[in-house]
Amino acid sequence: MKKRYTISVFTEDMVGLLNRVTIVFTRRKINIESIAASDSEVKDIHRYTIVVTETEDTVKKVTLQLEKQVEVIKAVYHLDDEVIYQEIALFKVPTSILLQGGEAEYIVRSHHARVLSVEAQFTVIEKTGHAEETQNLFDELEPFGILEFVRSGRVAITKPMRTLTSIVHELENT
């Protein structure tokens, strides 16, 4: 059965590695639903957080193929309930809608969204949460007119307590 998995890939810092990582997916015609690249807690180690909906068998094989790449240090996969994850969404709306009777303002408040910037013509609102939550805010604001919308890829912290530092330590001593 297909489920949503978060794959975390820890890598050396190398030009072109993202391409190598995505080739593992595209070659098997697996759709990457979201991807985020960032630093990790260990100096010089980068991490990609990749979300796919696939069977565990496929995800397991993909993870092994990722680890096979020379500059990939470690790749792990988790189900949604094994990670703490968030996405960030930014909304650009006309400032005027927040002045009309307060309904749009109420929606923003009830979603615990933050106002990042207010200009004469537009206001930028930030909402962090799961995709469903940012989508809900989008759906409610849409009738008022959204000028621009963007949502980041998922970033996730795993619940299992094995640290990257310990993995790296192990690899460096073998």
Partner 1 sequence: METVEYKSNQKTKTQQKMNGAQAVVHSLLAEGVDLIFGYPGGAIMPVYDALYDYENELTHILVRHEQGATHAAQGYARASGKVGVCIATSGPGATNLITGIADAQIDSTPMVCITGQVASPLLGTDAFQETDVIGISMPVTKWNCQVTKASEIPGAIAKAFYIARTGKPGPVLVDITKDAQFEMLEFSYKKFKGMRSYVTCPALNLTKVQEAAKIINSAKRPLVLFGQGVILSGAESQFQNFIEKAGLPSAWTIMGLSALDSDHYLNVGMLGMHGNYAPNKLTNECDVLIAVGMRFDDRVTGDLSRYAKQAKVIHLEIDPAEVDKNVKADVAVLGDAKEALLALFQCVENREHKEWLQEFRKLEFEEYREVIKEELNPSQGELTMGEVIRSVNDHTEGKAIVVTDVGQHQMVSCRYAKFKQSRSLITSGGLGTMGFCLPAAIGAKFAKPNREVVAVIGDGGFQMTIQELGTIFQTKTPVKIVVLNNEFLGMVRQWQELFFDKRYASTTMVNPDFQKIVQGYDIKTKKVTERDQLNASVQEMLEFEGAYFLEVKVGKENNVFPMVPTGASVSEIRLK
Residues forming the site for partner 1 (CB under 8 A): 11-12, 14-16, 19-20, 23, 27, 61, 64-65, 67-68, 70-73, 168, 171-172, 174
Given strand 72-79, what is the order of strands in its sheet? Answer: 34-39, 45-54, 3-12, 72-79
Tokens 């470690």 locate to: 74
CA atoms within 13 A on the CB side of 133: 17
Pick the closer one to partner 1 by CB: 19 or 139: 19
Pick the closer one to partner 1 by CB: 157 or 171: 171
Least distance between partner 1 and beta carbon 11 (Å): 7
Pick the closer one to partner 1 by CB: 9 or 113: 9
The amino acid at residue 67 is E
Least distance between partner 1 and beta carbon 47 (Å): 13
Pick the closer one to partner 1 by CB: 35 or 89: 35
Least distance between partner 1 and beta carbon 31 (Å): 18
Least distance between partner 1 and beta carbon 29 (Å): 14
Query: Cβ(131)–Cβ(151) under 8 Å?
Result: yes
3-state helix, strand, coil in the chain (%, to 5): 35, 40, 25
Give Dmax over CA atoms of the chain in angstroms.
66
Pick the closer one to partner 1 by CB: 15 or 150: 15
Q: Determine the 3-state secondary structure of 154 from DSSP.
A: coil
Spacing of C-alpha 109 from chain mean position: 24
Least distance between partner 1 and beta carbon 68 (Å): 5
